[in-house]
Amino acid sequence: MDKFIIEGQTPLRGTLAVSGSKNAALPLMAAALLADSPTTLQNIPRLNDIYTFNNVLRVTGTLVNFDEAANTLVIDPANLSFPESPYDLVRKMRASFYMLGALLGQGGYAKVSLPGGCAWGPRPVNLHMEGLKAIGAEITMDKGYVIAHAPGGRLRGGTIRLNPSSVGATVNILLGAVKATGRTVIENAAREPDVVLLCKALNAMGAQISGVGTDTLTIEGVSGLSGITFTNAPDRIEAGTYMIAAAMHPDSDLLITKLDPQDLGEFTQTFKQTGVTLEFADDSVRVKAPEKLIPVSIKAEIYPGFPTDLQAQWATMLTQASGKATVTDHIYYDRFSYVPELGRLGADAVLTENTVAIQGKTPLQGASVMSTDLRASVSLVMAGMVAGGTTEVLRVYHLDRGYENLEVKLNAVGAKITRVAE
Ligand code: EPZ
């Protein structure tokens, strides 16, 4: 297991490019199974989660060719003959559960392992299953696997109201509904850009989805879909991570390119309240840190609210703000495993239920800290870059799931990060 050795107090200055979105790519890859011909996906990042999902697709007999140098993925489902997703792969990456809707939508049968939990606690999938049942799926459980059939080989339209609004459930129901017979309506659907992009891709394949971008999606089932060439979105969470990192050292002045500012939702307005200077162009933002960072409290909510995937990064930034602020997560109540690790670096952070209160500005001192999940890990790297002395971040395989070339990108703009194989 690799670790990072980070020499702190380095401002970030220069230009850094954002890679393709992990959370937008995974639904697109699942959607490719629904087509009667190959699909080419561009701007696909070289991330462990992508490699894992490539293998999940290959298990079914689907041909997957990843041109890593070109970040291009070709998926050909012509030989799809084994509609199953095994536990040893699904447990590594819960989005593999999208295979349930994709395999049901394509061939009317799926045997997919339940994903299990993750680092910060239970991640239920009841809404996925209730939603697919509402469009005709017959579902049984057997030894940790979900076994689903579409009577007569094809799902039928129905109406689902999601509570809470769930990205994954919205994706899975869309994958099942686009080739069902009749009309499906998803109420309180997720509106994240990842879902919007999936709807656009499915419609380009021949699906008939209306209400795209709203919380009510109406799908008129069609009999077949064609493969497409489609470009994945930039990773809005990677972009937000680097924007926040650039606010943490007063001398930072970072140009972040290849992002889509529209995907940031309310994050941008909230970020401006900290005193950072933001100069947006159509696919870039220049972030100049303020001399004194203003503490701003946030509540993580569904899109377009503040993303839960940026709350750990925000809390880490607050250690360098002048005053007290809080971070509350209404999406995942226990997504705070990074808090004790920040404490090891000297942060004044007190967790009460699903809210952490941070008192800044506290000078952080380097120490050894443990990665626990993807976004917590990147927060510890951000802390190490402003801490005095040396910080050792262990188990950086978590980072390799969601940040392409993280240390290469950050070192190119002034960080001092060394990856060491353990
Ligand atoms: C997606 O997870 C993302 N993952 C997560 O990003 C992200 O944190 C999350 O959406 C919220 O934005 C991918 O896109 C691969 P949800 P997902 O279903 O779909 C509850 C990262 O760091 N819920 O929208 O699993 C659930 O407990 C990852 O890149 C149910 O109750 O999230 C949560 O409170 C981490 N029943 C809320 O809904 C269900 O059946 C939102 O979860 C499903 C979800």
Is 303:266 a contact under the CB 8 Å cutoff? no
Q: Percentage of the chain surpassing pLDDT 90?
A: 96
Pairing mode, strands 109-113 and 84-85: parallel
**Where on the phi/psi map is residue 275: left (φ > 0), alpha (ψ -120 to 50), or beta?**
left
242 & 209 share domain? no
Q: Which of 404, 409, 402, 390 is nearest to 3 (CA)?
A: 390
- For residue 120, pLDDT beyond 80: no
- HSE toward the beta carbon, residue 208, CA cutoff 13 A: 12
Which run of H or of E encompasses 174?
A: helix 167-177
Q: What is the reported pLDDT for 117?
A: 65
**Tens digits of residue pLDDT in 338-359:** 999 999 999 999 999 999 999 9
**Tens digits of residue pLDDT in 124-152:** 899 999 999 999 999 999 999 999 999 99
- For residue 241, pLDDT beyond 90: yes
Using the atom order of ligand 1, give the atom closest to the CA of residue 125.
Answer: 40
Least confident of 9-13, 120-124, 213-217, 413-417: 120-124
Average pLDDT over residues 232-254: 98
243 & 205 share domain? no
Q: Which of the listed residues 173, 196, 231 is the one where a domain comes to its end?
A: 231
Using the atom order of ligand 1, give the atom closest to the CA of residue 307.
Answer: 12
62 & 164 share domain? yes
**Tens digits of residue pLDDT in 306-333:** 999 999 999 999 999 999 999 999 999 9
β partners of residue 113: 145
- For residue 18, pLDDT beyond 80: yes
Residue 95 Cβ contacting ligand 1 at under 6 Å: yes
Question: What confidence tier does 42 reach under pLDDT thresholds 50, 70, 90?
Answer: very high
Using the atom order of ligand 1, give the atom closest to the CA of residue 49.
Answer: 15
Domain that holds residue 330: 2-19+234-421
- For residue 59, pLDDT beyond 80: yes
- For residue 269, pLDDT beyond 80: yes
Question: What confidence tier does 187 reach under pLDDT thresholds 50, 70, 90?
Answer: very high
| CA nearest ligand 1 atom 42, residue | 166
Average pLDDT over residues 276-302: 97
Q: What is the reported pLDDT for 122?
A: 73
Q: Which of the listed residues 231, 251, 279 is the one where a domain comes to its end?
A: 231
Q: What is the reported pLDDT for 422?
A: 79
Strand order, beta sheet including 284-288: 13-17, 253-257, 284-288, 277-281
- HSE toward the beta carbon, residue 408, CA cutoff 13 A: 7
The separation between CA 58 and the C-alpha centre of its own chain, rounded to angstroms, equals: 22
Q: What is the reported pLDDT for 403?
A: 97
Q: Which of 249, 390, 389, 404 is nearest to 316 (CA)?
A: 249
Q: Three-state DSSP class for 325?
A: strand
Which pair of structure tokens corresponds to residue 294? 């203003």
122 & 160 share domain? yes
Catalytic status, residue 199: no
Q: What is the reported pLDDT for 121?
A: 72
User: Longest Cα pair distance anywhere in the chain, in angstroms?
Assistant: 66
226 & 295 share domain? no
CA distance 182 to 196: 22
239 & 149 share domain? no
Pairing mode, strands 84-85 and 183-187: unpaired
Ligand 1: distance of its center to the CA of 386 in Å? 30
Residue 23 Cβ contacting ligand 1 at under 6 Å: yes
| CA nearest ligand 1 atom 41, residue | 166
Q: What is the reported pLDDT for 264?
A: 96
Q: What is the reported pLDDT for 355?
A: 98
- For residue 75, pLDDT beyond 80: yes
Ligand 1: distance of its center to the CA of 165 in Å? 9
Q: Which of the listed residues 231, 252, 277 is the one where a domain comes to its end?
A: 231
284 & 217 share domain? no
Which pair of structure tokens corresponds to residue 8? 């702190």
- For residue 270, pLDDT beyond 80: yes
Q: Which of 199, 97, 191 is nearest to 148 (CA)?
A: 97
Average pLDDT over residues 194-206: 98
Q: At what angle do helices 311-318 and 236-245 cross, to 10 degrees?
A: 0
Tell me which of 59, 63, 118, 412 is the catalytic residue: 118
* Report field, pTM of the whole predicted structure over 0.95: yes
Is 20:232 a contact under the CB 8 Å cutoff? yes
291 & 274 share domain? yes
Neighbours of 24 (CB within 10 A): 25
| CA nearest ligand 1 atom 31, residue | 124
146 & 266 share domain? no
Instruction: Among 128, 194, 331, say which to mutate for ligand 1: greatest number of ligand atoms within 8 Å of CB.
Output: 331
Using the atom order of ligand 1, give the atom closest to the CA of residue 373.
Answer: 22
Q: Where do we find the tokens 């005095």?
A: 388
268 & 174 share domain? no
CATH number of the domain where residue 210 is located = 3.65.10.10
283 & 263 share domain? yes
Query: What is the count of structural domains for the chain?
Result: 2
157 & 32 share domain? yes
Neighbours of 114 (CB within 10 A): 19
Residue 8 to residues 371, 377, 394, Cα–Cα distance (Å):
18, 16, 16
Radius of gyration of the chain, Cα coordinates, nearest whole angstrom? 21
Q: Convert 267-302 to b/e letters by CB count within 10 Å (16 or more is b).
A: beebbeebbbeeeeeeebbbbbbeeebebbbbbbbb
Question: What confidence tier does 9 reach under pLDDT thresholds 50, 70, 90?
Answer: very high
Ligand 1: distance of its center to the CA of 169 in Å? 9
**Tens digits of residue pLDDT in 92-111:** 899 999 999 999 999 999 99
